[in-house]
Structure 1
Amino acid sequence: MFTFLSVLLVASLSVNAEDANVIINNNEITLDTVEIQQYGLDLIDHALIDEYKLINLMDSLDEVIYKEAQDAQFNKDGTIIKEKLGVTLDRREFNRLFRKLYYSDKKGKLKVPKTSVYPKVDQGLLREVSMKELGRYVTFYKQSNSERSHNIALAAEAINNTVVFPGETFSFNGVVGERTTERGYKQAPVIVKGELSEDIGGGICQVSSTLYNAVDLKGVQIVERYAHSRRVPYVPPGRDATVSWWGPDFVFKNLYNEPILIRAKSENGQMNVTVHSSDTVEYFNGSED
């Protein structure tokens, strides 16, 4: 019998397919009565739906359908790239249509319903939170070390255009992600237990340290920061923020009444981070004083 596993395989290959039970056409998935009837509790009472199997079905459908929304962001030339809607399975409507057809005596088809996923940041919000500069910091590096420069550029790109909402926490590791060769990072010098060594992603601590100095503001609470085991050359003593995927993280919380925008770029031997918000931004400490 045509199983839903076959549907996933066909969908993942982006091939149109048609079967007595399932139709996939133009990214639309349609289930008919024969497919739906497979989700009954056969060993107990076919009049009942196997809820566990139904949840697994919806999860599998969502894997095929889901498309992440994209926030608006600034391009390199300063223009705004408009946000894009995402899409996901409309679980409530799917549940309703599935049960209606399952308990119907008539044959029919269920066109799998979708719903939009809205981005957190649209172009209107992005314009608003870029009005006022709150902080800025620049560090320098040698471009001749191409591997380290490459890693710095990748990490800078990862944090660029990040919007942190009021009360929200920013995690450097969470935003940048794991530094692996598969994600484009290269082996470069790092400090390990006070000794200079080589490791994948070497150089990104300059990005986290530059960010730390840029966001060290009245309305930003530094939640987690660790210093290197030895002095680094790109910031003054005590002004660094070391990070490691399996170790230290750099974390801060936005205590302003408005979202803050992080702009970061690495070029010509300079690592530059600026922090922005709206004209109405002010620090809120939880009291009326």
Structure 2
Amino acid sequence: MRIIVVLLIFLFLLFLLFPHTSYATVMEFYDEQEDSWLIDLKPYIFEVDEVLLNWNNIQNLTKYMQKQVYKEPENAYIDKDGKIIKEKPGFTLDVNQFHTLINEVYYGEVNKRLQVPKQSIPARVNKDLLKEIQERELNRFTTRFREGNVERTRNIELATEAINNTVIFPGEYFSFNEIVGERTQARGYLPAPVIVKGEFSEGIGGGICQVSSTLFNAVDLQGIEITERYAHSREVPYVPKGRDATVSWWGPDFAFRNKYNEPLLIRATAKGGAMTVVIYTSNDASIFQAKSP
């Protein structure tokens, strides 16, 4: 008898922790042409009293729909041909409107289905901004590499692609590790020579320090504050002595801050054995001047 009681209590707790509503049924009402969802509210009422909605289930449904509806906005960018590709807005669930509609539809005693409301998320960088901040070239720097070293070249290309088209707004910080991300084989990075404690060894992502060093030499100018930079433990051949910037995941980073009153744009390319970084901003850009006390 005790075993049966314990089992019943266990099943009751499971019911409370994991509502029986099946969210898989939600997708049956997805309209691909309209990119919208229709929700059947019948599973979200109290079984003992169909006059009331089960708001525990509604909250779980809300979290589920937030994941389904969310779409990250896409910034405008400059393609390989120099053409500006227009931004695309993102979407998120309009939670307040969602709950309002649930009440209106259910208590209005109409068909218990509703179209899920979405809010638009504007892209951070739009076409007009991108056009404006490529008006004025602040600086550029080029380094060379051997294309025949396939693994190292691939790593340089991936890291270069990651920093290309990055926009740093006034007062913002740029972190190389944050922008480029972890260098793993799953993300396409290959084993290549790296410097560890003054000695050459093999490591995933070898070669990306050439990208960070090229970037450092391009942004090391008035109006950009270098906030984090570390030198290699031995000289590297692709930049002058003392002009390198080593980076590693879970280790040294290269970072700087934009002190202009306008955004900065990083354009980076790696082809034909040359890695180039160009820094742009708008014609109206000026450096923030500290106010005198």
What is the TM-score when the length of structure 2 is the normalising length?
Answer: 0.85
Is the CA contact (8 Å cut-off) linking 1:70 and 1:83 kept in structure 2? yes
Q: Indicate yes or no: 2:119 matched with 1:115.
A: yes
Q: Indicate yes or no: 2:156 matched with 1:137.
A: no
Give 1:59 shift: 2.8
Aligned partner letter, 2:119: T
String of CA shifts for 1:129-170, please: whole Å, max 9, x gaps: 000011111111111101101110111011101110001111
**Change over 3 Å in CA distance of 1:6–1:208 after alignment to 2:** farther
Structure 2: how far apart are the matches of 1:115 and 1:104? Answer: 24
Q: Indicate yes or no: 2:260 matched with 1:256.
A: yes
**Change over 3 Å in CA distance of 1:263–1:111 after alignment to 2:** same
Q: What's 1:170 paired with?
A: 174
String of CA shifts for 1:9-57, please: whole Å, max 9, x gaps: xx5xxxxx3xxxxx2222422112213326x9x9xxx66723xx54443
Aligned partner letter, 1:90: D
Aligned partner letter, 1:153: E
Within-5 A mapping of 1:126-275:
126-275=130-279
Q: What's 2:94 paired with?
A: 90
Q: What's 1:59 paired with?
A: 63
Structure 2: how far apart are the matches of 1:97 and 1:251? Answer: 47
Secondary structure at the counterpart of residue 199 of structure 1: strand
Q: What's 1:20 paired with?
A: none
Structure 1: how far apart are the matches of 2:125 and 2:265? Answer: 10
Give 1:223 shift: 1.3
Aligned partner letter, 1:24: Y
**Change over 3 Å in CA distance of 1:89–1:47 after alignment to 2:** closer
Structure 2: how far apart are the matches of 1:225 and 1:94? Answer: 48
Q: Indicate yes or no: 2:65 matched with 1:69.
A: no
Which has the larger displacement, 271-280 or 109-118?
A: 109-118
Which has the larger displacement, 126-135 or 81-90?
A: 81-90
Is the CA contact (8 Å cut-off) linking 1:37 and 1:102 kept in structure 2? no
Structure 1: 5+ residue stretches without partners:
12-16, 18-22
Q: What's 2:22 paired with?
A: 3
Is the CA contact (8 Å cut-off) linking 1:33 and 1:107 kept in structure 2? no
Q: Indicate yes or no: 2:284 matched with 1:276.
A: no
Is the CA contact (8 Å cut-off) linking 1:167 and 1:255 kept in structure 2? yes
What is the TM-score when the length of structure 1 is the normalising length?
Answer: 0.86
Q: What's 2:41 paired with?
A: 33
Give 1:250 shift: 1.0
Aligned partner letter, 1:32: D
Give 1:6 shift: 5.0
Give RMSD over aligned pairs. 2.3
Aligned partner letter, 1:179: R
Percent of matched pairs sharing the same residue: 51
Structure 1: how far apart are the matches of 2:24 and 2:230? Answer: 47
Is the CA contact (8 Å cut-off) linking 1:73 and 1:161 kept in structure 2? yes
Is the CA contact (8 Å cut-off) linking 1:189 and 1:196 kept in structure 2? yes
Secondary structure at the counterpart of residue 211 of structure 1: helix
Tell me the number of residue pairs that the alignment of Structure 1 and Structure 2 aligns: 270
Give 1:101 shift: 4.1
Q: What's 1:81 paired with?
A: 85
Structure 1: how far apart are the matches of 2:58 and 2:230? Answer: 47
Structure 2: 5+ residue stretches without partners:
1-19
Give 1:104 shift: 5.2
Aligned partner letter, 2:170: P
Is the CA contact (8 Å cut-off) linking 2:44 and 2:53 kept in structure 1? no
Is the CA contact (8 Å cut-off) linking 1:36 and 1:102 kept in structure 2? no
Give 1:202 shift: 0.8
Structure 2: how far apart are the matches of 1:101 and 1:205? Answer: 58
